[in-house]
Structure formats: C-alpha cells, structure tokens
Structure 1
Amino acid sequence: MKKALIVGLNNYPGCKLAWCDNDAIAMKELIESNGDGSPNFEVIPITDSCTKSNLESAIRKLFADDADIALLYFSGHGADADGGYLCTTDFSENDYGVRMTDILEIVNNSRCKNKVIILDCCFAAKMGESVMLNNNSLLGDGVTIIAASQSWQTSGENSSIQHGIFTELLIQGLKGGAADIGGNITPASLYSFVDQSLGAWQQRPVFKTNISQFLPLRTIQPKVPKSILRKISTYFENPTDEFKLDPSYEYTNAPDVEHSVTEPYADVEHVNVFKELQLFESVGLVEPVGTDHMYFAAMENRSCKLTALGLHYWKLSKDRRF
C-alpha cells in the first residue's frame, strides 16, 4: 500500500505564491499511477489554502499506519525560525505553521515501512538538519528527505514553466528522466537526477536518508524489457567474452533494400539478436569493439562486449536477481 499527502499552497495573505498549486496538481497526476497506467499512490491533495491545524492533522493521518510507503510532498512558503516551518496560510508573526521538528517526530514514530518527505520551500533542508546528535540519528528507520534547497537558501519559482524550479525537475524525473534500466524511479535516483540538473549557481538540493532498501516511487516502461535483459548472460557466456558479429546481423543488409549489400545477407534470427544487443548498447550495457557504432561492428565482421555496467547486469542475470 502506498499513500501520499500532496500539498501546494499559494494563498498566503500579503505574500502570495503563484505556482505551488500547479506543483501539487502535477505531482498528484504523476504519482497516482505508473507509466503503464496501473495504480500507484492513493493521494490526498491540499491546494491553495490550509490551516496549521488541518495540515498537522493530515500529516498525522498520513503516517498513522503501516503503509509500504507514505509520502509527504509540500510546495509553499518555508520559514527558518525555530528549526524551520512549513508555513500554512493562517500563519502569524508568532506561529508560522507546522514545525519541521514536530513533523520529523511524527515520521520517526510512524510504523510505515518507508517514509518519504519532499519539500519545495525555502530553507527546506532545515528538516532533519543535524543528522547526528550525540551519536544518535535524528532520522528514524526508513526515513528519506529530499529538500529543494539548503537550510539557508530560498527556493525559486519560474513563471515561464509555471512551476517551482525544483518541482519541475521532479516532474521530469518522475516522467522517466530518473528511471533506471528496469524503469524504476526511487528517491535516490530522483534526487540524483535533480542534483545533476541544477547548476552550481542555483539552489542546491539536499538528500538525507536512513534506509537500507528503496522501494520505487513510480515505475515506467523500461527501456529494455526484463525478458530481454535476462538474455544478457546467454549472449555472453563469460563476462569477458566478445559476441562475434557479421553482416547477417544487420537487417538493412538484404537484397530487397536499395543499397550496397554483402554476404552473408541479413538473417532473421541474427537480426532479432542484433536488435537486442543494440538495445543493450542504447542503455550502456554493451559497446562495439574497434568501431564507434554497432552497425559498423556488424558490417565489418567485428564484435561487441560488455561494459562495466553491462557486467553488473550480467551478474544479476546470471544469479537470477530479476
């Protein structure tokens, strides 16, 4: 069971934001289903306005049971006072909203197996700022925090994209930019995608976690289907082997194609194998030997071999790990 509370607040008296509701709507639409349309998270959205009492109540309800993943996403104002706040739209000078330390206490005491907090607000890394205190972790088991900015930084919106800068990258990552070869998008891969996409002079995201194994936040159609990926250890019996190619593996090398052809002509079985090898190459698992392209490796009677990443998946295939 996966469930999520998705919050995007704009309607702050005297300091309105423009696109936080857009952030929340886009995040909800993405995580409530996987790339193949199958159900993913059950989502409760809160947009535009929310009181402190209602937000705190919703957070407690989110983390109240033993869900496989409970995800809190917040887009809105953040305050750096008193350990940090997620600001609610009924904030006052003496009470900005829900304290980050109070949220972390709720999360740390939760029975949910994986607790993920994603914050697109100013001073977002105030959440769990001191990861260790007296050699005791402030992050409970299964807790992951992805923050849009450092604890002293603001988080920006972009009117041209009508989203927060950080959330726009989250959206791209969840659509597939952060997916691994198997189509899985985890908190770690999502953070890595965002971190690499932001420049050195922009707000810097922060990743904190106390977890031994990530469950995917979303899955998409894998670039290489698992049924094909499993074959990598059959094409390469040993990890140092090279797979010998010849022109029969190239489907365009056929008499009915109007260009120069050479024997042996395209063979259906070889062509199907070559297409799968080219799939492996497209995701960095295989590389041609002695040339830059698989096409020329075939036409010039060369070969292909496993890359370092290919060796990793060869071992997984050999050990039947997927």
Structure 2
Amino acid sequence: MSKLLFLFFILFLNINNAFATDKIHLVSVGIADYPGTSNDLTLPAKDAASVKWLYEKNSNAVTTILINSAATKESILSAIRSTFQCSSTDDIVVFFFSGHGYKGGFVAYDGYLSYEEVRQAMSITHCKNKMIFADACFSGKMRQGTTEVKQEHEKSNVMLFLSSRDNETSIERKDMKNGFFTTCLVSALRGKADSNRDRTISAKELFKFVSDNVRALSKNKQHPVMWGHFSDDMPVIVW
C-alpha cells in the first residue's frame, strides 16, 4: 500500500509540473498624463494595471509597473534590464506599453523611446520567448524603422504585437475600463484565445482572437499587427 501511495504521489507531482508555467517577467508601462494637457489620454494607466493584474495571477510572475510621470525613458529601460536580467532560457519576458507611439517606437513621459533601444535593453536576457505588446496609435509604424533596425529585428526572437496598423488610431472609449486592444488582449490571456484547450496560449491563437475581436469592436477601423521572427506555436502564457 505504501509503495502504491508513493507512486501516486510521484504521478501527482508530474501532473502538476506538466501544468506549471515557467517564470514570467513583465514590465508594464502606461502613460495617460503627459506633460501639458493637449497630449493626454484616458485609459493607458488602467491598461498597464490590468495587464499587471493579469500576470500577477500567475504565482511565477515577476512584475514591474511604471505609470505616468514615473515612466521616463531611463526608468523604462532600467526596469527592463533589472526585471529581465534574472530570466532563464525557458522563461517568458513581456514588455507592455500603452500610450502614444511614433514611427520607430514609443513616447515615454519625457521623450521618444525607440524600439531599437527597447530591443537592446531586452537583449540582456537569453530567454527564447520575448514579447512586446503595444497599445498605441499608429503603433504599426514601429515596423518602419531604418533598414538596420529591421534587419536586427528579423535576427532577434522578439514578437511584436501592435494594436493598430501604421495609419490607424488605437481606439479607447471612456465608458470602457481599457482600450480596445488591451481589453481583447486581457480576455485572450485569461484563456479565451485557447482554441485547442491545452491551457497554453500560442502566438497564433493570441493573434487570431485579439485581431478578430478588435476588428469587431472597432467596426473594422482598427487592425492589430503581429510581427517578428518566432514560431506560431510560441507560448505566450500558460493560464
């Protein structure tokens, strides 16, 4: 009987390990209140908080959040380095940004932050699964950097998931908790994108769910873009 109980215990541990996630390292940034008043947005701070909350439901998550004036260019890069440097090969690292975007990058609280600077900061980790989620107007323009930047990105293993095409705004409504893209992203990562029900959201599943639902919410005015050198089966989250 004792031998049978021991075998059952080992089997139980193996089942648990099969569903255990590798560690997730997240830096979540949301800037709604830019210097002055003309550039302010409504929901980015809430977007960043929602994404942080989502990942913190995973007991293996390490998260950092920067909101509004705390999200300076140097603070963001420093947070990426410090949060991602302890990741191992099979971990997942995620940089989430909600705020203004520009051709080639993001608008931090105190100025421009290029995609290349973010990619360089993320290179501190040799993790196989690196992701950038951006909920920003015209975020698709990040694909239009210099030829050198494009070549470097194609060699890297960073998945870029951008909220809109280069000629589109990323829609937010005051009656919603989050922008259209973040709303669908959070729903997807909570399990709704898991079409084969294997408890793992892949890059392909994520794109289909978010893209379909953002297009429906926006009445076909906003189209998310996924770009990079990665497998369709790349794990995004185990939920």
**TM-score when normalising by structure 2:** 0.76
CA drift of 1:11 comes to 1.3
Structure 1 residue 54: Cα displacement: 1.0
Partner of 2:5 in structure 1? none
SS state of the match for residue 202, structure 1? coil
1:250 aligned residue: none
Deviations 1:271-305 (A, max 9, x none): xxxxxxxxxxxxxxxxxxxxxxxxxxxxxxxxxxx
- Stretch deviating more after TM superposition (197-206 or 114-123): 197-206
Residue pair 2:168, 2:221 contacting (<8 A) in 1 also: no
Looking at structure 1, the residues matched to 127 and 68 of structure 2 have their Cα atoms a distance apart, in angstroms, of 28
Q: How does 1:72-151 map to 2 (within 5 A)?
A: 72-80=95-103, 84-90=104-110, 96-108=111-123, 110-129=125-144, 136=151, 138-151=153-166
CA distance in 2, matches of 1:126, 1:144: 15
Cα distance in 1 between the residues matched to 2:48 and 2:92: 18
What is the CA–CA distance in structure 2 between the aligned matches of 1:60 and 1:207, rounded to whole Å?
Answer: 24
* Paired residue type of 1:30: L
- Give the match for residue 29 of structure 2: 7
**Count of matched residue positions in the alignment of Structure 1 and Structure 2:** 207
Letter in 1 for 2:62: E
Q: Which moved more, 1:14-23 or 1:59-68?
A: 59-68
- Structure 1 residues 25 and 43: alpha-carbon distance in aligned structure 2, compared to 1, 3 A threshold: same
Q: 1:108·1:143 contact (CA, 8 Å) conserved in 2?
A: no
Post-superposition CA distance 1:178-224 (Å, at most 9, x none): 113112223331221011111463211001132245124131xxxxx
Counterpart for residue 235 of structure 2:
215
Instruction: Compute the displacement of 1:70 (Å).
Output: 0.9
1:159 aligns with 2:177: no
* 1:51-70 mapped onto 2 (5 Å cutoff): 51-67=72-88, 68-70=91-93
| Secondary structure of 1:18's aligned partner | coil
Residue aligning to 1:304: none
Q: 1:169 aligns with which of 184, 188, 205?
A: 184
Q: Counterpart amino acid of 1:18?
A: T
Structure-2 change in CA distance of 1:104 and 1:153 (3 Å):
farther
Q: Does 1:195 align with 2:211?
A: yes
Q: Mark the runs of 5 or more structure 1 residues left unpaired by the alignment.
A: 91-95, 220-322
More helix per residue: 2
Q: Decide whether the 8 Å contact of 2:32 with 2:68 is kept in 1.
A: yes
Query: 1:284 maps to which residue?
Result: none
1:47 corresponds to 2:67: yes
Question: Where does 1:276-315 land on structure 2 (aligned, <5 Å)?
Answer: none
* Secondary structure of residue in 2 paired with 1:139: helix
Aligned identity (percent) is: 29
Mapped contact 2:143–2:150 kept (Cα < 8 A): no
Q: Is the 8 A contact 2:105 2:115 kept in 1?
A: yes
**C-alpha distance in structure 1 between counterparts of 2:236 and 2:223, whole Å:** 23
TM-score (norm 1): 0.58
Which structure ranks higher in relative contact order (CA pairs < 8 Å, sequence separation ≥ 6)? 2
CA shift at 1:135, angstroms? 10
- Report the secondary structure of 1:101's partner residue: helix
Amino acid at match of 2:222: Q
Q: Is the 8 A contact 2:62 2:83 kept in 1?
A: no
Equivalent AA in structure 2 for residue 183 of structure 1: R
Structure 1 stretches of at least 4 aligned residues deviating more than 6 Å after TM superposition: 130-135
* Cα 1:40/1:193, change in 2 over 3 Å: farther
Alpha-carbon shift at residue 85 of structure 1 (Å)? 2.9
Q: Write out per-residue CA displacement over residues 87-114 of structure 1, whole angstroms, 9 at most, x where no aligned residue.
A: 1222xxxxx3211222233335642221
Amino acid at match of 2:52: K
In the alignment, the residues of structure 1 paired with residue 238 and residue 54 of structure 2 have an alpha-carbon distance, to the nearest angstrom, of 8
Per the TM alignment, residue 7 of structure 1 is displaced from its structure 2 partner at its CA by 0.9
The alignment yields a C-alpha RMSD, in angstroms, of 2.6
Q: Is the 8 A contact 1:149 1:205 kept in 2?
A: yes
- C-alpha distance in 2, partners of 1:40/1:216? 14
Point out where structure 2 has 5 or more consecutive residues left out of the alignment.
Answer: 1-22
Does the 8 A contact of 1:74 with 1:120 survive in 2?
Answer: yes
The reply on whether 1:19 has 2:43 as its aligned counterpart is: yes
1:206 aligned onto 2:233: no
